[in-house]
Amino acid sequence: MDDKKRVLSGIQPTGIFTIGNYFGAIKNWVSMQDEYLCNYMIADMHSITVKQDPVVLKNNVLSSLALSLACGIDIKKSNIFIQSHISEHAELCWVLSSFSQFGELSRMTQFKDKSENNKENINAALFTYPILQTADILLYNANLVPVGADQKQHIELSRNIAIRFNGIYGDIFTIPEAFMNIGQAKIMSLSDPIKKMSKSDKNQNGFIGILEEKDSIIKKIKKSVTDSEGIVYFGEGKDGINNLIDIYSSIMDKTREDIQQEFEGKGYGNFKLKVGEVLADYLEPIRIKYNSLINDRSYLEECYKTGALYARKIATETLKKIYDKVGFIGR
Ligand code: AQP
């Protein structure tokens, strides 16, 4: 029996990943592969909470898979699969819905943000998707869930649902924990740095996609909204500069203090150019790898089919146990 801790995490195929997704999630996914038993999923079921064009979504699922592999997910070490291929996610979600309270779901800040941005389509799934997320995690008995800081509240909810269920039926679910690296930043929008950077932001200048060309990256960083003080340091009221410092720090593994010292007396123009350049150089190998993977459809298919086989084995076993506990007669 392998005594490694188990990991589950997912990413929505709602577009090309941003550097927020990368520094907030995927970089961790990659670094956890040796130490943990990792299950990673392309969360297509989550993505339809916001209107999707079906053709675009199918392409996005494949490009998300290719991009995860290009970023360093290694199928010899980790399992990667497409969420909708495992029907147990939806089935467990339904069971857990009966153990989730309306009040606790209403307190989720992501629901408030997402409904604010999608006023024309505030659907029920937008409200209940943290339950599906809980099912994703609990199906795989995950101990750790590597997420960005923006998802901490949802993991807390998952823990509460699991604890509540266990309180009734005994020690069934593993209680998951959010996993974040010390100092892991929430990357903010470049055009509105009090909002998190999102791949589905309608303002193209707000985010940087992992596959963007050097010129575009530098241009967006140069244009990014900052204050007018002109001194590079991390401080209150300097959201734009704070964000650039965090991006630079994630790439260079430098502390905020080191960065402040490095750019002392140099002004924002110089700092922005440097951030743009190091970021573009950092992302280039990922872009090259992605371009070769995305054209190899049969390899991608092999990856997600193998991933589903393995995932289904675990998910079926968990769901069988849960159905029995809640009183459903075995199939
Ligand atoms: N700006 C961010 N900073 C740090 N971490 C982030 N994550 C997302 N944005 C940031 C982390 O990326 C993982 C995958 O996120 P997701 O695609 O499942 O959903 P999301 O959080 O809703 O990401 P987006 O980019 O904002 O997608 P859309 O625009 O479709 O809503 C998560 O671990 C998240 O914490």
Q: pTM (2 decimals)?
A: 0.92
**Which domains, ranges and CATH numbers included, belong to the chain?**
6-185+297-326 (3.40.50.620), 204-291 (1.10.240.10)
- Give the residues across from 6 on adjacent strands: 37
Catalytic residue among 27, 199, 220, 272: 199
Q: From ligand 1's centre to the CA of 24, what distance in Å?
A: 8
Contact criterion met (CB below 8 Å) for 75 and 303: yes
- The atom of ligand 1 lying closest to the CA of 200 is 29
220 catalytic? Reply is no
Find the residues whose C-beta lies inside 6 A of ligand 1: 10-12, 14, 18, 20-21, 24-25, 43, 147-148, 150-151, 186-187, 196-200
Does the annotation count 196 as an active-site position?
yes
Residue 114 designated active-site? yes
Which residue in the list 5, 186, 196, 320 is annotated as catalytic?
Answer: 196
Tokens of 166: 């266990």
Atom 2 of ligand 1, nearest CA residue: 20
Ligand 1 atom at minimum distance from 114 CA: 31
Interval between CA 162 and ligand 1 midpoint (Å): 23
pLDDT number for residue 114: 82
41 within 8 A of 81, measured Cβ to Cβ: yes
Residue pLDDT tens, the chain, 331 long: 468 999 999 999 988 899 999 998 899 899 999 999 999 999 999 999 999 999 999 999 999 999 999 999 999 999 999 999 999 999 999 999 999 999 999 999 988 888 888 888 899 999 999 999 999 999 999 999 998 777 899 999 999 999 999 999 999 999 999 998 766 778 999 999 999 999 888 899 999 999 999 999 999 999 999 999 999 999 999 999 999 999 999 999 999 999 999 999 999 999 999 999 999 999 999 999 999 999 999 999 999 999 999 999 999 999 999 999 999 999 8
Q: Provide the residue type at 309 as one letter.
A: L
Angle, in degrees to the nearest 10, between helices 54-71 and 267-293: 100
